[in-house]
Amino acid sequence: MALWAIISTHGYECAAIALCAMGLLNLTLHGNLIRKCLGANLFSTAVFLFFGARGYRTGGEAAILDPETLTAPEVAVNVVPTSLILTGIVVSVSITAFFLALTIRIYERYGTVDLDEVLLRVAQEQAELEQEETGGPS
């Protein structure tokens, strides 16, 4: 019952935490880089959702003056989380762009977007290189 009470009053936060877990699992457990990227996005967006939900007040409006009467709304939502989320989204977009650029480079080099396979290939290449070095003229 207590759990249900929490879920009904803090629905957004609970959803955010569930999304967080889903994103983190995708990010860590999947080998596919695109899946990882989606997971990372889900993870950070869930944190933003949590943050936004903490700044919400029931019945609150956007904290903007009425253009005609120049009065503030009686109940306004907390604008600090909203503006910080905006910054956070910018940061998260740039990280995603970098991630995807790196993925493209890896795909060009190895022809796969599976990180485990890429790491295996790297290990193979290194072993070959070592063999060359020790086998060659020293």
Partner 1 sequence: MDILRCVPLLSIFLPMLSGFLLLLISDGKLALRATAVITAAVAGMSVALTAYLTSRAESFTFVMGSFPAPWGNELRAGPAEALFATVYSVVLLLLLKDSSSHSLKEISAHRQSLYLAVLNLLLGSMLALIYTNDLFSAYVFLEVSTIAACSIVMVKDKGESLAESMRYLLLYMIGSTFFLLGVVLLYSVTGHLLMEPLQQAIAQLVQTGQYSICLSVSLLLMTVGLAIKSAVFPFHTVLPGAHGSAVATSSAVLSGLLLESYVIVLMKILLRVYTLPVAQSLHILDALLILGLMAMVAGSLSAMKQRNIKRMLAYSSAAQIGYIYVGIGLGSQAGMVAASFHIIAHAFTKSMLFICAGELIAHSGGSSRFAQLRGAAWRAPLAGIGFTMGGISLVGVPLLACFVSKLYLAKSAFDGSWRTVFVLVALGISMILNAMYFIPAVSAIWSGRKEFEENRRPSAENLLRNAVHGITWQMVANIALGVGFAPVVEVLVLGIALL
Binding residues for partner 1 (CB under 8 A): 20, 24, 27-28, 33, 36, 40, 43-44, 47, 50-51, 54, 80-81, 84, 87-88, 91, 94-95, 98-99, 102-103, 105-106, 109-110, 115, 118-119, 121-122, 125-126, 130, 133-134, 138
In angstroms, give the least distance from the CB of 68 to partner 1. Answer: 27
Q: Round the CA-based radius of gyration of the chain to a whole number and report it.
A: 24
Contact by Cβ (8 Å): 110, 117? yes
Select from 15, 24, 14 the least CA-distant residue to 44.
24
Question: Cβ neighbours of residue 73 under 8 Å, at least 6 residues apart?
Answer: 60, 61, 62, 63, 64, 66
Q: Residue 12 has which token pair?
A: 């957004």
In angstroms, give the least distance from the CB of 50 to partner 1. Answer: 6
In angstroms, give the least distance from the CB of 103 to partner 1. Answer: 8
In angstroms, give the least distance from the CB of 54 to partner 1. Answer: 4
By C-beta, is 73 or 96 nearer to partner 1? 96
- Give the C-alpha separation, 37 to 40, whole Å: 5
